[in-house]
């Protein structure tokens, strides 16, 4: 299973691509950021994110797109701006028939560190450890995207265990 | 000049297309809504809006896309959801090199009714009057989109008068 984790934003969209094999081994295939610049118009920034997403999906042919559900307590202008970026990310998924799943920040923290109360440095260190990387992936948005991908991998594993348990109970 | 006004939303995206000729006459070319359904996934709803936008742009080859700047005081979930729809609307504009301009709700009211304090029924009545329509355009989102297009037409007219005034001052 190949998972594409995305941490969307107008200026910086982090991505992380991981593969888990049948033995549960995780391999990092790719991580980084899609950058856009304030000198560009808003539509052109969105087009860059969309084009970058299409390239990533075509390169890695992931089985699933995972993102983090965002919460904004103060600034609805930021919410609209991040919402726009999410819009074109989800559109790229739809255009490739890629299933999409969303996790809360709490679920991502829990999956990566075992606790919903983890701080960012703990998260990043655990991402590096779980993926066998020699150092913390940079920039932060790429590490966040990898954390989201790890969260989905854990969640998918739990779901498949449940399916197996159901089958063995039935059998 | 052909103007495409859009009032975006995940469920209902209103559109209005108007043309103004050199004598300032306005003609309505098209209005209506792009509908998506709650039974669809979020990415598929966005893909429907995007595909609908592309069809509208290819059919009417507008010179400009106008939208309304949205303000949310309470609900950031709605802001993200509307933000997503705006994202794919702006992407369609970028993919057709269509310039985009945004107006505040106050500017739209002012342009259509002459006062920023107008209520919705007044707005809708004025939209019908200004466009020479026998009745108020339905549904509401289509009337709102036409109002945004009218606002841009007025604003573009004022800008071109200013340009003329500047030229005659220089001359």
Query: Which residue in chain A has the smallest CA separation from B79?
Result: A80
Instruction: Encode pLDDT of B123-141 as tens digits.
Output: 999 999 999 999 999 999 9
In whole angstroms, how far apart are CA B72 and each of A50, B79, B87, B105, B116?
26, 6, 17, 12, 18
Show residues of chain B in contact with A62, CB under 8 Å.
none
**CB neighbour list of residue A23: distance below 8 Å, 6 or more residues apart:** none
Confidence class for position A161, pLDDT limits 50, 70, 90: low
pLDDT confidence of residue A168: 63
What is the ipTM, given to two decimal places? 0.89
Please count the residue pairs, one from chain A and one from chain B, whose beta carbons lie less than 8 angstroms apart. 95
Q: Do A43 and B91 touch (CB under 8 A)?
A: yes
Q: Is B6 on the interface with A (CB under 8 A)?
A: no
Q: Is A58 among the residues known to form the active site?
A: no
User: Residue A14 in contact with residue A36, Cβ under 8 Å?
Assistant: no
Task: Residue A47: name the closest of B43, B50, B17, B2 by CA.
Answer: B50
Give the residues of chain B that fall short of pLDDT 50.
171
Tell which wins on pLDDT, A170 or B166: B166
Q: Is B34 on the interface with A (CB under 8 A)?
A: no
The residue from B7, B30, B44, B140 that is catalytic is B7
Residues B34 and B88: their CA atoms lie apart, in Å, by: 13
pLDDT confidence of residue A22: 79
- State what percent of residues in chain A have pLDDT above 90: 75
pLDDT reading at A143 higher than 70: yes
pTM of the predicted model as reported, rounded to 2 decimal places? 0.91
In whole angstroms, how far apart are CA A160 and each of A67, A114, A163, B13?
20, 20, 5, 39
- What is the rounded average pLDDT of the residues A121-132? 94
What number of residues does chain B have? 171
Q: Do B79 and A80 touch (CB under 8 A)?
A: yes
Residues A49 and A70: their CA atoms lie apart, in Å, by: 18
């Amino acid at each position: 299973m190949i998972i594409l984790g995305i941490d969307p934003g107008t200026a910086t969209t982090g991505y992380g691509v991981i593969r888990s094999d049948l033995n549960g081994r995780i391999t990092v295939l790719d991580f980084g950021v899609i950058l856009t610049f304030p000198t560009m118009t808003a539509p052109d920034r969105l087009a860059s994110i969309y084009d970058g997403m299409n390239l990533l999906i075509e390169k890695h042919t992931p089985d699933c797109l995972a993102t983090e559900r965002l919460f904004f307590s103060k600034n609805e202008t930021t919410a609209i701006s991040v919402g726009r970026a999410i819009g074109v990310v989800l559109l790229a998924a739809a255009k490739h028939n890629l299933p999409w799943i969303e996790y809360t920040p709490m679920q991502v923290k829990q999956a990566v560190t075992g606790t919903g109360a983890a701080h960012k440095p703990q998260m990043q260190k655990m991402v590096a450890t779980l993926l066998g990387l020699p150092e913390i992936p940079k920039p932060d948005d790429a590490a966040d995207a990898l954390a989201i991908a790890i969260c989905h991998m854990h969640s998918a594993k739990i779901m498949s265990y449940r399916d197996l348990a159901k089958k063995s109970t039935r059998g």
